Amino acid sequence: MQRESYGATAAVIRAFLAGLDGEVRQVSETEWGLTLDAAGWPLDLGMSIRDGLLRAQAEVVEVGQIDSDRLLRWNRNLPLVRFSQADSGAIWVQGDIPLEAVDSERLDGFLGLLVRVATQAREAAAPF
């Protein structure tokens, strides 16, 4: 999918995000930020259209808050999303879906899954 054809998908994403209760920011034509609650504190989620995918990511917990072996086990069972570790040691959740699959229902499930696994990781993490 070429950049010129991202417009229809971006319109679906914009319409979906407009209906959310959280804080939503459009950073560029194909990038958004949203802040939602996950385990009682803000989860700042970034989304972008790149390379034929809708990509989303958010920092979940700081370094040393959760065992990386636990996250690797969780990754084996998660569809569409996974945990990763930044160079700083912070834990992130990220996911991708093909642009052809983006509609309101799929977007709702995808973002819901990202927030759900971020919430579970934060609840399992050692207190800050």
Tokens 């799929």 correspond to 106
CATH code for 3-124?
Answer: 3.30.1460.10
Report how far residue 60's alpha carbon sits from residue 124's, in angstroms, rounded to the nearest whole number.
11
- Helix (H) or strand (E) segment spanning residue 59: strand 53-61
Are 24 and 32 within 8 A, CB to CB?
yes
Write the pLDDT tens digit of every residue in 47-80. Answer: 999 999 999 999 999 888 888 888 889 999 999 9
2 φ, ψ (degrees, to nearest 5): -80, 160
Give the H/E segment covering residue 38: strand 31-38
Where do the DSSP E strands lie in 39-110? 41-50, 53-61, 81-85, 91-98
Domain boundaries defined on the chain = 3-124
Supply the pTM of this predicted model: 0.89
Predicted pLDDT of residue 11: 94
